[in-house]
């Protein structure tokens, strides 16, 4: 993996641990929605890898859709502004929806998404986040399914990016930048 400049990566969660935990979360979803259909909504782009691994471990009738929002600029800081860049392709009315996010940080993105998705009257709306950084929370959001609770570090890999890079790392890594 090529790392640019003086950026440093340190493994936080190894691929094998991610794989094992994703299986466990999928098993829990399968149990919770036994005999029903689940509609997974991935929040682009960060959740695409988590969603594609998760859905393949769910033993139920499933469908998927994606929504894209922007809450961060190109860097590490949240602007606090959330905007829909790409909406869902189809209605979620009456469906069992699991919203799939890469990471829950301040909670601004999910608070906004939960509000707009609830207005579309799904039967159930649950949230699955691969990572949770509870120490940074500004809005009270409690995900129903969490992969890993992590400390207040900026992480990349397994779908998560820094300025669109590093999404392809198989491990979740802590990114340190050189002092500005």
Catalytic machinery residues: 105
User: Would you tell me how many other CB atoms lie within 10 Å of the CB of residue 179?
Assistant: 5
Task: Tell me whether strands 37-44 and 61-72 are parallel, antiparallel or unpaired.
Answer: parallel
> Nearest approach, Cβ of 59 to Mg ion (angstroms)?
30
Q: Cβ closer to ligand IMP: 32 or 137? A: 137
CA 100 to mean position of chain CA atoms: 5
> Nearest approach, Cβ of 167 to Mg ion (angstroms)?
9
Q: Cβ closer to ligand IMP: 29 or 156? A: 156
Q: Considering only residues 46, 107, 122, 159, which one is a binding residue for Mg ion as defined by CB under 5 A? A: 46
- Residues that bind ligand IMP in the complex, under the rule CB under 6 A: 43, 46, 71-72, 78, 101-110, 154-156, 160
CA 101 to mean position of chain CA atoms: 2
The token duo for 163 is 């300025």
Q: Cβ closer to ligand IMP: 28 or 78? A: 78
Q: Cβ closer to ligand IMP: 35 or 178? A: 178
The binder of 30, among Mg ion, ligand IMP, none, by C-beta within 5 to 8 A per type, is none
The binder of 107, among Mg ion, ligand IMP, none, by C-beta within 5 to 8 A per type, is ligand IMP
**CB pairs under 8 A, 24+ apart, for 136-139?**
136/105, 136/106, 137/104, 137/105, 137/106, 137/107, 138/106, 138/107, 138/108, 139/106, 139/107, 139/108, 139/110, 139/111
Residue whose C-beta lies closest to Mg ion? 46
> Nearest approach, Cβ of 66 to ligand IMP (angstroms)?
13
The binder of 99, among Mg ion, ligand IMP, none, by C-beta within 5 to 8 A per type, is none
> Nearest approach, Cβ of 170 to ligand IMP (angstroms)?
16
Tokens 């259909």 -> residue: 37
In terms of Cβ atoms closer than 10 Å to its own Cβ (0-12, 13-18, 19+), residue 170 is middle
The contact set with Mg ion (CB under 5 A) reads: 46
């Amino acid at each position: 993996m090529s790392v640019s400049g003086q950026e440093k990566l340190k493994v936080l969660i190894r691929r094998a641990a991610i794989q094992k935990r994703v299986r466990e979360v999928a098993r829990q979803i399968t149990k919770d929605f036994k005999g029903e259909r689940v509609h997974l909504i991935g929040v682009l782009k960060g959740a695409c890898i988590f969603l594609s691994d998760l859905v393949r471990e769910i033993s139920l009738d499933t469908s998927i859709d994606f929504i894209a929002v922007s809450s961060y600029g190109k860097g590490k800081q949240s602007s606090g502004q959330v905007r829909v860049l790409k909406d869902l392709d189809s209605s979620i009315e009456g469906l069992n929806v699991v919203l799939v996010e890469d990471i829950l940080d301040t909670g601004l993105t999910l608070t906004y998404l939960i509000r707009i998705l609830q207005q579309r009257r799904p039967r159930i709306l649950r949230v699955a986040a691969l990572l949770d950084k509870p120490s940074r929370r500004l809005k009270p959001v409690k995900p129903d399914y969490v992969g890993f609770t992590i400390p207040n570090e900026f992480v990349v890999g397994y779908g998560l990016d820094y300025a669109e890079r590093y999404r392809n790392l198989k491990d979740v890594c802590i990114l340190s930048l050189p002092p500005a």
